[in-house]
Structure 1
Amino acid sequence: MVTGVTTAPTLSVVIPVYNEENWISRCIDALMESLARGRWAAQVVVVDDGSTDATGARLAELTDRYDITVVSQVNAGRFEARKAGLAKATGEFVLLLDSRVIVEPGALGFLREQVTEHPERRVWNGHIEVASQGNPYAGFLAGLVKVPWRRYFADPKLTSFGPDEFDLYPKGTGFFAAPRDLLAGSVEAFDSLYDDVTLASDDTKVLRWIIERERIHLAPGFAAVYNGRDTLRKFVAQSYYRGTTYVDSYLTSAGPARTALFGALGVGAVTAVMLVKHPVKTVAVGAVGSAAAGAVVRRCGATPGEARAVGTLLPLFAGGFGLGVLRGLVLALRAKLRK
């Protein structure tokens, strides 16, 4: 590893986008402001993953406004879109950014300072705040993660974590920075339990490979705001999808998350039987359990609105997530039998 670095490494930003005509301009405008404030020039690569709305038109406008590179491809999913963006990236560092993530103005100045003055801190996961005000669907997920990641949320500060703490800290590739060669290695090594990569866990698998080689850093200074789905239909679809990716993420990896997966399967099986035998009593118990879950996430740092969302939406999420888990198990079994 090179030490004594006094100038910032070159930076590329890779943004996959699919049907986000209402967000892509806000995402890139905020990115450009943060880069300017941080005095950090960057190559920006946006991969349009087969959008069918006005995303393409928004990108044409942004290309006129900023010096960005747009790559268009047939819809292949976020992993393949990021892979295409990485292939175009030339920076020593790469920032992965999702189109619904709005970078805070000071975030990239903070990151530039960290990687310049502390070159050993090479891998960074963003500190994500969820825009949950007035959006119970986003608030639900924001509240739910307060439980497994309560160690960080109880006292957000500059920290890092390694493989043994992987399940205990916030992580994701929606706002994530690392050396380009490290990200390229993780993409090359990517291996899903499924044949269909669009249903694979395209962040947890990547991060597990990276954390076996480098610690991941977190800090409130490297922050952004995530804008979640805002309709019931999208919430249900996302719950189903998350159940499927959860299996790919944790089925073969020992730890608290896999234990939770098996526990959820057991609870789901018992609940299904009870619904058939004692439907009224089961619904009542579920309502009490949901209310208790809301109280738990509140104690773990969730806002009152997030706690209410968890208490209200948990049964709906559990149903969609459970079905997604079953789909994931079937997909994994099919792929294994084919091999």
Structure 2
Amino acid sequence: MNASVPALSVVIPVYNEESWLPRSIAALMVSLDRARWEAQVVVVDDGSTDGTGDRLAELAKKYDNITVVSQENRGRFEARKAGLAEATGEQVVLLDSRVIVEPDSLTYLRDQFTEHPDRRVWNGHITVNSEGNPYAGFMAGLVKIPWRRYCADPRLTSFGPEEFDLFPKGTTFFAAPREIFAGAFGDFDSLYDDVKLASDDTRVLRWIVERERINISPGFAAVYNGRESLKKFASHSYFRGTTYVDSYLTSAGPARTALFGALAVGAVGVVALVNRPKTTLVAGVVGAVAGGAVAKRCGATNTEARAVSTLLPLFAGGFGLGVLRGLFLALRAKLRR
């Protein structure tokens, strides 16, 4: 028996995205219109310092279903939390400002909610726009290695806590009942004192998957547009290393095993670089090329695989430093507590 279409809220945190936000909103509205699904759209301006505020004012005039929330910069987690507090829909979609929702995605989601009301939690099928952007292509190719079970053959499936590390996940484009999000955000607890550096997606999603299976399908899809510069790539690599520690240090599984393995390899690499610099550099190049080949076998495109081979050494350095920062922050917070 089909259920009724649930009321929907979309929460979008934004920080300095005056260029991407109008495109993201426009694509969202097209998908909502195709689905014939009215929705409340809550956009939280997390202390932007560019023209984002002006763009939001224009968008709020153009679309009468947009609610704008402004706050001092407190990070994506707090921005989403503020947006969730304003949300009134039974179902909530988290959407990032660089994400372009596919035109038929919300039609697919609406049909799933009405025809299969037990499928309440959905992770978006994300395609990364890597055309002319090797930095975005690198990230897209790299994650296909741990998530190869799905990426090599995308299809409608679901996963539970025991498979959590093996499937694509993230709050970039994610749908769940509002009370589920409220519980996950309310119980959120980071290893760090500063929530801006915390893993604001993995910890939330692990809380959710321990209560309901997460569904994923190419039907519920969007395109992510990554950062476009070397400086931003290096900064993001460092940040990802820090959040990785918060995500997996206290959770047994393949991801934590990979963390410890990477630390061991890094320590050996530093010693080898001091004692045998030429041999270590050659080994690093060979390893990077091999990494690209593995990514290709796991579903990466040729462009993504080349990006992995080219940028892996730089990413490894930044990520490793971020991991060390994360371990320091976790230890400091534990001693304080």
**TM-score, shorter chain, exceeding 0.5:** yes
TM-score scaled by length of structure 2 = 0.99
Out of 43, 48, 53, the residue aligned to residue 45 of structure 2 is 48
Counterparts of 2:137 and 2:332, CA distance in 1: 35
Aligned to 2:88, the other structure's residue is in SS state: coil
Report the AA paired with residue 5 of structure 2.
A
What number of residue pairs does the alignment pair up? 336
Q: Is the 8 A contact 2:12 2:94 kept in 1?
A: yes
Counterparts of 2:300 and 2:157, CA distance in 1: 21
2:60 equivalent to 1:63: yes
Out of 187, 191, 196, the residue aligned to residue 198 of structure 1 is 196
For each residue in 1:139-172, what CA deviation from the matched residue of structure 2 results, as whole angstroms up to 9, or x when unmatched?
A: 0000001111111112111110000000010000
Counterparts of 2:283 and 2:2, CA distance in 1: 59
Counterparts of 2:326 and 2:165, CA distance in 1: 20
Counterparts of 1:279 and 1:53, CA distance in 2: 44
For each residue in 1:52-76, what CA deviation from the matched residue of structure 2 results, as whole angstroms up to 9, or x when unmatched?
A: 0011111011001002000000000
Report the AA paired with residue 280 of structure 1.
K
For 1:161, the equivalent position in structure 2 comes to 159
Out of 12, 19, 22, the residue aligned to residue 9 of structure 2 is 12
Report the AA paired with residue 163 of structure 1.
P
For each residue in 1:84-121, what CA deviation from the matched residue of structure 2 results, as whole angstroms up to 9, or x when unmatched?
A: 00000000000000000100000001000001111000
Note the C-alpha offset of 1:6.
2.9
For 2:25, the equivalent position in structure 1 comes to 28
Note the C-alpha offset of 1:7.
1.6
Q: Which has the higher mean CA deviation after the structures are superposed, 233-242 or 297-306?
A: 297-306
Q: Is the 8 A contact 2:234 2:318 kept in 1?
A: yes
Counterparts of 2:184 and 2:297, CA distance in 1: 36
Following superposition of structure 1 onto structure 2, how do residues 308-319 of structure 1 map, counting pairs within 5 Å?
308-319=306-317
Report the AA paired with residue 138 of structure 2.
F
Report the AA paired with residue 58 of structure 2.
E
Out of 211, 215, 218, the residue aligned to residue 213 of structure 1 is 211
Counterparts of 2:87 and 2:51, CA distance in 1: 25
Aligned to 1:222, the other structure's residue is in SS state: strand
Identity score, percent: 75
For 1:179, the equivalent position in structure 2 comes to 177
Report the AA paired with residue 26 of structure 2.
D
Aligned to 2:219, the other structure's residue is in SS state: coil
For 1:281, the equivalent position in structure 2 comes to 279
For 2:117, the equivalent position in structure 1 comes to 119
Out of 32, 37, 42, the residue aligned to residue 34 of structure 2 is 37
Q: CA RMSD in A?
A: 0.6
Q: Is the 8 A contact 2:27 2:102 kept in 1?
A: yes
Counterparts of 1:209 and 1:135, CA distance in 2: 34
Note the C-alpha offset of 1:5.
4.8
Counterparts of 1:280 and 1:12, CA distance in 2: 56
Aligned to 1:192, the other structure's residue is in SS state: coil
Note the C-alpha offset of 1:299.
1.0
Report the AA paired with residue 325 of structure 1.
V
Report runs of 4+ in structure 1 exceeding 4 Å deviation: none
Q: Is the 8 A contact 2:3 2:117 kept in 1?
A: no
Aligned to 2:44, the other structure's residue is in SS state: strand
For each residue in 1:1-31, what CA deviation from the matched residue of structure 2 results, as whole angstroms up to 9, or x when unmatched?
A: xxx4532000000000000011000000000
For 2:78, the equivalent position in structure 1 comes to 80
For 1:233, the equivalent position in structure 2 comes to 231
Following superposition of structure 1 onto structure 2, how do residues 310-329 of structure 1 map, counting pairs within 5 Å?
310-329=308-327
Counterparts of 1:64 and 1:48, CA distance in 2: 16
Aligned to 1:195, the other structure's residue is in SS state: coil
For 2:128, the equivalent position in structure 1 comes to 130
For 1:257, the equivalent position in structure 2 comes to 255
For 1:307, the equivalent position in structure 2 comes to 305
Report the AA paired with residue 138 of structure 1.
A
2:286 equivalent to 1:295: no
For 2:270, the equivalent position in structure 1 comes to 272
Report the AA paired with residue 222 of structure 1.
F
Q: Which has the higher mean CA deviation after the structures are superposed, 83-92 or 149-158?
A: 149-158
Aligned to 1:243, the other structure's residue is in SS state: helix
Q: Is the 8 A contact 2:3 2:113 kept in 1?
A: no
- Unmatched 5+ stretches in structure 2: none
Aligned to 1:21, the other structure's residue is in SS state: coil
Out of 108, 113, 124, the residue aligned to residue 110 of structure 1 is 108
Aligned to 1:219, the other structure's residue is in SS state: strand
For each residue in 1:171-217, what CA deviation from the matched residue of structure 2 results, as whole angstroms up to 9, or x when unmatched?
A: 00010000000000000000000000000000000000000100000
For each residue in 1:218-272, what CA deviation from the matched residue of structure 2 results, as whole angstroms up to 9, or x when unmatched?
A: 0100000000011000000000000000000000000000000000000110111
